[in-house]
């Protein structure tokens, strides 16, 4: 949840303290040796993950889409109607700004034009959104609740823990409990059912030892019927949303040659603010020799335009502003990378971001009033027909209304400014 101001403040404090004291961890673990990192697997659950920076053919192993029978009221039409077109959704990190994406998706669903996505990916706050959207409109009420009902104390214990006493400055057990409240046995069974239909749900984390992104096919985890499937599913969501330094990293046990090791996984946004396999690498089992047409929807839970702010000369203000600027520009870099590949593949690129005209502010992270206002803004945009941005900042292309992909209408002035 990379843009939460108070969380980033304590993360900056942790980083500076660590540089000054260089203290050793009080919680030793068996680290996977470098020579074995590509062989590490979870016992009884093979082929459930891949490096996020792996070659396209490796990513394709997690992106095999079957021809599926559409559910009633899906945007593609009647039940049983087939389409060669892929609908792909990628949801970024953003901390409490995740309320925007949640609102947009629920509003889009209530408008009756939200498609059933063949592939859904999520990072950080997006990882907490993606499973609900993957399961469809029946989970929209729960998605709204996650991003409008809870406060900071429901996400983490704001009491600061000295860096010498652990691997994070705050206690993330409230978020762990919140995930467990929604992700139960029935939730897992529903995920497994959709994966069997051929749809894919990928969640991104960061392997700290390797400094590399990891993509988890959590649908395959759900299908495994392994006794540890539910705890692992929850751990992956927690890890993807765990800001390193502020939240403790999540330890995941793996095995190599009958020996058990522990990996450390943190916020997927550390390595990728948003990700999606190239549509050209996705394997269609029903049309294996045919290139699939694709519509790609990216929700960036943040603003992509520069935001002026008078920065105080203190070290915390400077550090906080620098980190938030770094994250914003990292996310824009991710968008350019995805856009370039989409252009090569002929993929219909659609981007949503918080408008530069949204002015609500908050004094601390996860304030209910702020999140409710942002959710309402997203919901209104989704319900009325969001004018999707057709390119990252600096590339002038007209937005198109949600659900009307042949429109050539000019964008509103506020969104035109975001494209410049």
Say which residue the tokens 């009633």 belong to.
72
Helices (H) and strands (E) in the chain, counts: 13, 13
In Å, what is the CA distance from 127 to each residue of 10, 19, 234?
A: 22, 30, 11
Q: Give the bridge partners for 212, in sequence order.
A: 207
| Among candidate residues 152, 160, 167, the one with its CA nearest the CA of residue 245 | 167
Q: In three state form, how does the secondary structure of 82-133 look?
A: CCCCEEEEEECCCHHHHHHHHHHHHHHHHHCCCCCCCEEEEECHHHHHHHHH
Known catalytic residue at 267: yes
Q: Which residue is catalytic, options 96, 118, 267, 348?
A: 267
Q: Which residue is catalytic, options 124, 224, 324, 365?
A: 124
Q: Give the bridge partners for 86, in sequence order.
A: 294
The pair of structure tokens assigned to 68 is: 């599926």
Cβ-based neighbour number of residue 64 at 10 Å: 14
In Å, what is the CA distance from 100 to each residue of 301, 307, 320, 377, 382?
A: 6, 17, 22, 7, 10
Helix (H) or strand (E) holding 283: strand 283-284
Helix axes 125-135, 140-148, angle to 10 degrees: 160
CA gap 136, 113 in Å, rounded: 12
- CA end-to-end span of the chain: 27
The pair of structure tokens assigned to 118 is: 């063949």
The pair of structure tokens assigned to 107 is: 């509003």
CA gap 4, 99 in Å, rounded: 12
CA gap 193, 254 in Å, rounded: 26
Length of the chain: 420
Known catalytic residue at 240: no
Torsion sign across C-alpha atoms 194, 196, 198, 201: positive
Say which residue the tokens 């370039």 belong to.
340
CA gap 281, 60 in Å, rounded: 5
- Just list the catalytic residues: 124, 267
């Amino acid at each position: 949840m990379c843009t939460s101001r108070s969380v980033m403040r304590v993360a900056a404090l942790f980083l500076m303290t660590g540089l000054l004291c260089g203290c050793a961890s009080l919680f030793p673990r068996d680290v996977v040796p470098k020579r074995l990192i590509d062989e590490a697997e979870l016992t009884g659950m093979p082929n459930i993950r891949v490096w996020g920076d792996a070659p396209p053919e490796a990513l394709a192993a997690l992106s095999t889409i079957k021809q599926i029978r559409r559910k009633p009221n899906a945007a593609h039409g009647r039940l049983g109607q087939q389409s060669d077109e892929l609908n792909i959704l990628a949801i970024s990190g953003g901390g409490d700004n995740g309320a925007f994406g949640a609102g947009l998706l629920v509003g889009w669903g209530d408008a009756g034009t939200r498609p059933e996505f063949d592939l859904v990916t999520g990072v950080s706050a997006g990882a907490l959104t993606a499973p609900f959207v993957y399961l469809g409109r029946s989970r929209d009420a729960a998605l709204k609740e996650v991003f409008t009902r809870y406060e900071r104390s429901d996400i983490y214990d704001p009491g600061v823990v000295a860096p010498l006493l652990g691997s994070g400055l705050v206690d993330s057990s409230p978020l762990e409990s919140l995930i467990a409240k929604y992700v139960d046995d029935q939730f897992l069974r529903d995920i497994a059912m959709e994966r069997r239909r051929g749809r894919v749900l990928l969640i991104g984390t960061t392997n700290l030892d390797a400094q590399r992104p990891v993509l988890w096919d959590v649908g395959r985890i759900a299908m495994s019927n392994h006794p540890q499937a539910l705890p692992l599913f929850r751990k992956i969501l927690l890890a993807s949303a765990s800001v390193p330094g502020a939240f403790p990293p999540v330890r995941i046990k793996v095995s190599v040659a009958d020996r058990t090791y522990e990996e450390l996984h943190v916020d997927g946004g550390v390595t990728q603010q948003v990700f999606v396999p190239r549509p050209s690498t996705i394997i269609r089992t029903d049309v294996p020799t045919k290139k699939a047409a694709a519509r790609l929807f990216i929700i960036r839970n943040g603003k992509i335009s520069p935001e002026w702010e008078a920065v105080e000369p203190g070290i915390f203000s400077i550090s906080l502003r620098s980190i938030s600027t770094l994250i914003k520009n990292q996310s824009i870099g991710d968008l350019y990378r995805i856009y370039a590949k989409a252009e090569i593949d002929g993929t219909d690129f659609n981007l949503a971001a918080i408008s530069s005209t949204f002015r609500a502010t908050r004094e601390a992270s996860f304030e209910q009033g702020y999140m409710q206002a942002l959710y309402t803004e997203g919901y209104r945009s989704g319900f009325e027909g969001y004018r999707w941005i057709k390119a990252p900042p600096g590339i002038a292309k007209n937005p198109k209304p949600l659900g009307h992909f042949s429109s050539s209408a000019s964008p509103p002035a506020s969104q035109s400014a975001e494209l410049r």
